[in-house]
Every structure is written in C-alpha cells, then in structure tokens.
Amino acid sequence: MEKKTFLLLDDGSIYHGRSFGGTETTYGEVVFNTSMYGYQEMLTDPSYAGQILVLTYPLIGNYGINKVDSESKQIQVRGLIVREHCATPSHNLSDICLEDYLKGNGIPAMSEIDTRSLVRRLRSKGVMMGILSTEMSSDEARDEIKRLPQFGAVNYVQHVTTDAAYEWGTPDSEYSYEIVLLDCGLKFNIPRILTGMGCRCKIVPASTSAEDILALNPDGVLISPGPGDPAVLVSIERTVKALLGRKPVMGICLGHQLIARALGADTFKLKFGHRGGNHPVMDLQTKRIFITAQNHGYAVDAGSLPAGLEVNHVNHHDGTVEGLTHKDMPVISIQYHAEGSPGPEDNLYLFDRYLNMIDSFNGKQKRAKRSTSKTSVNTRTTP
C-alpha cells in the first residue's frame, strides 16, 4: 500500500507526496540540484550531510544503483525528494533499485510532488530547514521545526570525516608524488584521479594537526570538499593556516573556503547555493570558460581578500569567487568540483596545475612516472 508523506518547510509551507524508501521522520536543510544524472554520486556525497536533497530532473532511479559509483561509504543525505521515481531500473551494472537502496539505509524519500514549485520557492526565499515525515501531523511538525538547530550552526565535518588514516590504492604500486588529503568530507573520485596521475594518497581525519601532517613529509596537501559553514570549523582553519607556505596546498570547495579564511578572508552564505553540473566558470589565467560541477552553499567574499591572495576563477552567472592563488605561497584553490562525479570532466587540468606547483616548490621533476590517460584517471577503486 502506498504511504503518504509530507515536507514542511521553515516558512510554514507544506508539500504532500508519496513515501518511498525509509519511513523514518527526518529533518535538514532543503536544497536542490539541477544535474540530469548522477543521483547515486549525489546521495553519497558527504557535502550533502545534514540536508534533504531535491532533484530537478523529473525521473530518478531509471538506471538503478551499482557497486562502483558511490562517492563515500554510505548515503549522506538525510532525505530525497523527486518528481517521479522509477521502480524498475534498466542498466547492465544495476544491482538494486533506488527504493530498496534508500530503504536499506533508512533514508526517507518522497515522490509525486511538484518539484518545480518547491524549487521556485527555494530560489525566491532561499534554502531553509524542513521536516520530511510519514509519522507526524503537520501541527506536530510545525512545533518540532522551531526546536531544531539551523544548518549553519552544526559541525557536520566531524560526522563525515574518516575515523582513522588510510592509504588509497595498491601499496606497492609505482608513484611519483605523495599527497596527504585532509578529509573534511572527501569524495572518492579525488583520490581515484590522483592515483591515476601517479600519486600515492594518504587520507587523514579532519582533526589531524598540521604537525602530524608535516611529519608524514608529503609532497603536497589537499584540503577536501565537505559539508556545512566553514566559519564553525575553527580548529581545521588553524590547521590549514599552519600548513600554508610550508607545503604546496590545494583546496576544493570547502577546502577552498578554509584556505581563504585561514589567510584572513571572509565567507558568506549564498541564497540557494550552487548545486548542479552545468555552471560556467572563467579561468582568468587562460580566459577560457569551463562547464563545472558544483555543490556548495557558501562562498568567499571577494571584497575581503588580503594582500597576496588573488582571484583566478569567477562564476559566469553571478561573479562569485571560484578559485584563488597566492602571489608568494604555493596555493591553489577552487570552489567547484574538478573531479566531477557527477558532472563534466573538463577541469581535470587543475590537478596537473597543482602537480606542476609541487614540482616548482620542490625544485625537481617527478613527472616521468605519471600517467594522465583517461583510463587511469577514471579507474574506480575503493579504500
């Protein structure tokens, strides 16, 4: 029997639909993504921790769920909302349907609602907290939502980071670079790409100190993407500040914001964020415009940048900062996801740019053993 469910938003608006997946009551910041594919990668992206995800593409689940496309070890969203979900997927890699995948992980979902209306509300009023429930009455949900913490007040990184350090890939494989990845909510495609480019990757918890990272003597450090407001991550910001200038550092998404804050810049919350696979970004170094994958609700304030920190990528929609470099330190950061998953792979060149920075900083060339072939870059492995 079909079970009815509803979504109550912070502003009091309510949307009714059909429940599928888990039946638990959940709450979180309600956000939307405009990508046309990649729902498995989105569901498992740690940057969605604490959020209920609305997908604008109307049919979701048609190619099922497989063993290779997850971007972390578990589903990270708190809930999923779609216009229509497909109960009978068709794909040669499919192992399980979307509904059973969500149900097995206790993640509630809702279909048969007007997602266009919901997204228009989020665009006009901004993202907001919501409750998704099959169990509560609407009045109970209205009382409950007043007691819930706002999304920006919670440190979600501590919930998604790895518990212990580990290495990615085969331990005895050839490598040309040793990279430490500070896991603030790491997507698996980042170490997949780096190992395909000749790097040995060591992933460490977000609580790891700068001294412990430097004791590993890596060629470079990468600060990963992750969820939440960078302003609440004071201890990680201190760690990043202590690393800058001592090792070549790359930051992606949340890592980009943490680098900016560590150098004295400010960040701010976007009205409804950038989440999708078709955001145009200009690389000011080459004057080319690239189509990028994005998933973030906060941005760096361009007017707050200190001396030496320079913008090198800008969003072609709204002019927000999409990338930074430093005049005197080996630093590169991007707000978008060069690794895609899901999304275009137009921006893999930025990992090359980072490795070139490592070569320059170390005064030596390690490039002989590297491979940048599409096959090696896209190799799917799990830790």
CATH at 122: 3.50.30.20
Q: Based on the domain organization, do 136 and 168 belong to the same domain?
A: no
Q: Based on the domain organization, do 215 and 311 belong to the same domain?
A: yes
- Structural domain contains residue 295: yes
Closest CA to 187 of 350, 376, 56, 43: 43
Domain membership of residue 62 as a residue range: 3-153
Q: Based on the domain organization, do 149 and 273 belong to the same domain?
A: no
Catalytic (active site) residue 337: yes
Q: Please pick, among 253, 296, 313, 322, the residue that the annotation labels catalytic.
A: 253
- Contact assessment for residue 30 and residue 127, using Cβ atoms and an 8 Å cutoff: yes
- Structural domain contains residue 147: yes
Catalytic (active site) residue 253: yes
SS3 assignment, position 250: strand
Q: Based on the domain organization, do 113 and 168 belong to the same domain?
A: no
> What confidence score (pLDDT) does residue 370 get?
41
- Structural domain contains residue 113: yes
Q: Based on the domain organization, do 145 and 169 belong to the same domain?
A: no
Q: Is the dihedral of CA 104, 110, 116, 121 positive or negative?
A: negative
- Structural domain contains residue 383: no
Q: Based on the domain organization, do 19 and 57 belong to the same domain?
A: yes
Q: Based on the domain organization, do 165 and 149 belong to the same domain?
A: no
- Structural domain contains residue 382: no
Query: What's the pTM?
Result: 0.93
Domain end point (choices 95, 118, 153): 153
Q: Please pick, among 85, 274, 326, 337, the residue that the annotation labels catalytic.
A: 337
> What confidence score (pLDDT) does residue 377 get?
39
- Structural domain contains residue 44: yes
Q: Based on the domain organization, do 44 and 25 belong to the same domain?
A: yes
Q: Spell out the alpha helix ranges (H) of 197-233.
A: 210-215
Catalytic (active site) residue 24: no
Q: Please pick, among 29, 71, 237, 339, the residue that the annotation labels catalytic.
A: 339
The CATH number that applies at residue 177 is 3.40.50.880
Domain end point (choices 153, 176, 203): 153
Q: Spell out the alpha helix ranges (H) of 137-209.
A: 138-147, 157-160, 189-196
Q: Is the peptide bond before 306 cis (omega within 30 degrees of 0)?
A: no
Q: For every one of its 383 residues, what pLDDT tens digit does the chain have, with 9 covering 90 and above?
A: 569 999 999 999 999 999 999 999 999 999 999 999 999 999 999 999 999 999 999 999 999 999 999 999 999 999 999 999 999 999 999 999 999 999 999 999 999 999 999 999 999 999 999 999 999 999 999 999 999 999 999 999 999 999 999 999 777 778 899 999 999 999 999 999 999 999 999 999 999 999 999 999 999 999 999 999 999 999 999 999 999 999 999 999 999 999 999 999 999 999 999 999 999 999 999 999 999 999 999 999 999 999 999 999 999 999 999 999 999 999 999 999 999 999 988 999 999 999 999 999 988 655 444 443 333 333 334 44
Cα–Cα distance between 333 and 286 in angstroms, integer?
A: 16
SS3 assignment, position 337: strand
46 DSSP 8-state letter: G
Domain end point (choices 95, 128, 153): 153
CB neighbourhood size of 117 (10 A) = 10
Q: Based on the domain organization, do 163 and 306 belong to the same domain?
A: yes
Q: Based on the domain organization, do 79 and 131 belong to the same domain?
A: yes
Number of domains in the chain: 2
- The two tokens of residue 217 are 């003597």
